[in-house]
Structure 1
Amino acid sequence: MKIGLRTIKTAIAAPIALMLANMLGLESATAAAIITVLSVTNTKRSTAKTAVNRVVSLTLATAIAALFFSLFGFTAFAFGLYLLLFIPLSVQMKIGEGISVSSVLITHYLASESLAPSLILNEYLLMIIGVGCALVANLYMPNTEKKIKEDQQVVEVMMKKLLSKMSDSLNQITSEEVLIEECQSLAQFIKQAQKRALQFEENRLWSPISYYFEYFAMRRLQVKNMSDMLQVLIQLDATESEAQELHELFDFTAETLAEDNDGQEILRKIEETYQRYREKELPENRQAFENRAMLFHLFQLFQDFIEIKAGFYRDMTR
Structure 2
Amino acid sequence: MDFRRFRIGYRTLKTAVGASIAMLIAMFLNLDYYSSAFILTVLCIQPTKRKSVRAVYSRIIASVIGVGFAFIFFEGIAYHPLVFGLILILFIPTLVSLRFQDGFVSSVVILLHLFDAKELTWSLLWNETQLMAVGFGIALLVNTYMPSIEKDLKKYRLDLESLYSKIFHEIALYLRNGDSDWDGKELVQAAEVIEKGKALAYQDVENHLNRRQNLYYLYFDMREQQFEIIERVLPKITALPVTISHSHHVGEFIEDLANHVHSGNTANTFISKLDDVKEEFSKMPLPTDHENFLAMAALYQFIEEMEQYLQIKRSFIGFKMKKKTAAKE
> Which residue is equivalent to 2:3?
none
> Which residue is equivalent to 1:110?
115
| Residue-by-residue CA offset, 1:113-149 (whole Å, 9 max, x unaligned) | 2221222222222222112122222222222213322
> Which residue is equivalent to 2:189?
185
CA distance in 1, matches of 2:44, 2:72: 28
Secondary structure class of the residue paired with 1:171: helix
Secondary structure class of the residue paired with 1:290: helix
Residue number among 169, 192, 199 corresponding to 2:203 in the alignment: 199
**Is the CA contact 1:66–1:115 (under 8 Å) kept in the aligned structure 2?**
yes
**Paired residue total:** 313
Residue 226 (str. 1) matches residue 230 (str. 2): yes
Residues 263, 93 of structure 1: CA spacing in aligned structure 2 closer, same or farther, 3 A cutoff?
Answer: farther
**Is the CA contact 1:176–1:234 (under 8 Å) kept in the aligned structure 2?**
no
**Is the CA contact 2:242–2:291 (under 8 Å) kept in the aligned structure 1?**
no
> Which residue is equivalent to 1:90?
95
Q: Point out the more displaced range, 113-122 or 244-253.
A: 244-253
| Residue-by-residue CA offset, 1:183-237 (whole Å, 9 max, x unaligned) | 2112212322333323333222333332212211222232232223223332223
Unaligned stretches of 5+ residues in structure 2: 1-5, 319-329
CA distance in 1, matches of 2:199, 2:257: 27
Matches within 5 A, 1:208-287: 208-271=212-275, 273-274=277-278, 283-287=287-291
Q: Point out the more displaced range, 212-221 or 67-76.
A: 67-76
CA distance in 2, matches of 1:163, 1:81: 65
TM-score, length-scaled by structure 2: 0.84
**Is the CA contact 2:240–2:295 (under 8 Å) kept in the aligned structure 1?**
yes
Matches within 5 A, 1:164-183: 164-172=169-177, 173-177=179-183, 180-183=184-187
**Is the CA contact 1:263–1:307 (under 8 Å) kept in the aligned structure 2?**
yes
CA distance in 1, matches of 2:97, 2:262: 44
Unaligned stretches of 5+ residues in structure 1: none
> Which residue is equivalent to 2:51?
46
CA distance in 2, matches of 1:81, 1:271: 73
Secondary structure class of the residue paired with 1:184: helix
- Structure 1 position 17, deviation (Å): 1.0
Residues 281, 58 of structure 1: CA spacing in aligned structure 2 closer, same or farther, 3 A cutoff?
Answer: farther
> Which residue is equivalent to 2:303?
299
Higher helix share: 1
Secondary structure class of the residue paired with 2:134: helix
Q: CA RMSD in A?
A: 2.7
**Is the CA contact 2:194–2:223 (under 8 Å) kept in the aligned structure 1?**
yes
CA distance in 2, matches of 1:84, 1:286: 73
CA distance in 1, matches of 2:113, 2:280: 79
- Structure 1 position 4, deviation (Å): 1.3
Residues 298, 23 of structure 1: CA spacing in aligned structure 2 closer, same or farther, 3 A cutoff?
Answer: same
- Structure 1 position 102, deviation (Å): 0.8
CA distance in 2, matches of 1:53, 1:312: 37
Query: Which amino acid is the alignment partner of residue 216 of structure 2?
Result: Y
> Which residue is equivalent to 1:36?
41
Matches within 5 A, 1:5-44: 5-44=10-49
> Which residue is equivalent to 2:323?
none
Query: Which amino acid is the alignment partner of residue 250 of structure 1?
Result: I
Residue 124 (str. 1) matches residue 129 (str. 2): yes
Residue 55 (str. 1) matches residue 55 (str. 2): no
Secondary structure class of the residue paired with 1:313: coil
TM-score, length-scaled by structure 1: 0.86
> Which residue is equivalent to 1:157?
162
**Is the CA contact 1:176–1:230 (under 8 Å) kept in the aligned structure 2?**
no
| Residue-by-residue CA offset, 1:291-313 (whole Å, 9 max, x unaligned) | 23322332333233223222333
Residue 69 (str. 1) matches residue 74 (str. 2): yes
Query: Which amino acid is the alignment partner of residue 138 of structure 1?
Result: N
> Which residue is equivalent to 2:321?
none
- Structure 1 position 33, deviation (Å): 0.3
Residues 72, 267 of structure 1: CA spacing in aligned structure 2 closer, same or farther, 3 A cutoff?
Answer: farther
